[in-house]
Amino acid sequence: MKAKEPLWTKSYIMLMLGNLFVFMSFQMLIPTLPPYIKSIGASGLEIGLVTALFSIGAVLSRPFIGYMLEYKERKSLVIIGVISLLIVTLLYPVSQLVVLFLVFRFLHGLAWGWSTTVNGTVASDIVPSSRLGEGLGYFGLSITLGMIIAPSLGIYLFQVTSFSNLIYISAILGLISICLLFLIRYQTPDTVKATKKEDLKFSYLGSLVEKSSWYPAFITIIATFGYGSVVTFIVIFGEERGIDQIFLFYLFNAIMATISRPIAGKWFDKNGPMGIVLSCLTLTFIGLWVLSMAYSNLFIIISGILFGIGFGSLIPTLQSWTLSKTPPNRRGVANGMLFSAIDLGIGLGGLVFGILATFFDIATLFQISSIFLVIAIIATLFEGRKNKITQQHSVSS
């Protein structure tokens, strides 16, 4: 029996920890920026723009970094990305005007698009191909835990201290990430090393979309559009319902994501993406409805558990699915496409539901957003059926 290729190398562990601190630094701001900008006079539309402008910036930057990843060494790109995130984070305390705040948010999106694309590509470089699902599953935990633990911390700090102190703590986490990522021994694929900039012709669309793996990214946009309502309004929802322990949603989300994600990664390597993606989407759909009916901490906890198993495993699984269909030299573009799909979905969701918040209460917004998870389920079933028909034709011929 052939021995498994090593996964838990020093560089892999350092990358996971460094990426965790990147996401911790960033994600602790996500639920606190909407109520902060509301406190300085923002309208419902402007609150939606907090998410939308950030997402636009991220989407705009990713094709350029995806193009650079086809011919450049990894380390300098990683360090530039995390330093840029730190600088923009430190700008927030000076933004007492809504317009200036939104400008900084757009710049933050540009830096975020750069950093997440590079870090995700470095992970796919380091992980052995035979353990891609498992390796990216564990790496995805650094993303998922950052997305889930950090908002709880951010909400707590927002409630007990000043916004400036929240920013400074976020900056400290960002500085730790820089130190960790600087120490990694990076691996650049031979096909990338052999490629020169002059050999490539830049196409914005060509660096935005990887044709071989566009469908998982399409499903990602639909699913994260629904999640955009949660990201934008969950803290304000807690205030409206008088639920003072809204951080429990993120806490139990984190616990269940930590337990379920490694299992989902191994399931992916053994059985492929369809079953796990459908299961995750269904659990997230149920979690949204439980959240919409919450008037107590118990419902918040149940919703967090469902989201942790569902959405907590969904994004890393979609990333593994995307990269499993992508040639190694195009993984930078594919990663950029996937993360752009996440940001575009969440950003558009935040904007659309920000507008709808004028006409509906937030619980109703959560219920409306669940429709997009149903659409994602149908799209996944369609792809599964198409693949099954293709395989049957291949066998018969």
DSSP tally for the chain: helices H, then strands E = 15, 0
Query: For residue 351, which of 139, 46, 39, 108 has the smallest C-alpha distance?
Result: 46
User: What interhelical angle do 331-356 and 362-396 show, nearest 10?
Assistant: 150
DSSP tag of 49: H
Rounded Cα distance, 137 and 320, in Å:
8
* pLDDT score for 390: 56
* pLDDT score for 179: 94
* pLDDT score for 378: 94
Query: For residue 27, which of 192, 196, 157, 181 has the smallest C-alpha distance?
Result: 157
Q: In sequence order, what are the residues at sequence separation of 6 or more whose Cβ sits closer than 8 angstroms to the Cβ of residue 279?
A: 310
In tens digits, the chain (397 residues) has pLDDT values of: 456 777 788 888 999 999 999 989 988 887 788 778 778 777 777 777 877 788 788 888 888 888 888 888 888 899 999 999 999 999 888 777 788 888 888 999 999 989 988 988 888 888 877 777 678 777 877 876 776 678 778 888 888 888 888 999 999 999 999 999 998 888 877 778 877 877 778 777 777 788 888 889 899 999 998 888 887 788 788 888 888 788 788 788 878 887 887 788 778 877 778 888 999 999 999 999 999 999 988 999 999 999 989 998 888 888 888 888 888 778 778 877 888 888 788 878 877 888 888 888 889 999 999 999 999 999 999 887 776 665 555 545 5
Q: Which sequence spans correspond to the domains of the chain?
A: 10-187+206-396
The label of the residue with tokens 């970094």 reads 65
Q: In sequence order, what are the residues at sequence separation of 6 or more whose Cβ sits closer than 8 angstroms to the Cβ of residue 117?
A: 62, 65, 66, 69, 332, 335, 336, 339
Whether 332 contacts 65, CB under 8 Å: yes
Q: How many C-beta atoms lie closer than 10 Å to residue 293's C-beta?
A: 13
**Amino acid identity, residue 397?**
S
Query: For residue 334, which of 56, 66, 58 has the smallest C-alpha distance?
Result: 66
Model pTM greater than 0.75?
no
* pLDDT score for 391: 57
* pLDDT score for 196: 81
Query: For residue 264, which of 104, 76, 137 has the smallest C-alpha distance?
Result: 137
- Sign of the torsion formed by the C-alpha atoms of 282, 283, 289 and 292: negative
Q: Torsion-angle region of residue 34: left (phi > 0), alpha (psi -120 to 50) or beta?
A: alpha
| The two three-digit tokens of residue 168, written as one number | 């400074």
* pLDDT score for 2: 56
**Amino acid identity, residue 18?**
G
With residue 193 as reference, give the H or E element that holds it.
helix 190-193
Whether 66 contacts 336, CB under 8 Å: yes
Q: Which fold has domain 10-187+206-396?
A: Growth Hormone; Chain: A; (1.20.1250)
Q: In sequence order, what are the residues at sequence separation of 6 or more whose Cβ sits closer than 8 angstroms to the Cβ of residue 69?
A: 77, 117, 118, 121, 192, 331, 332, 333, 336
- Residues present in the chain in total: 397
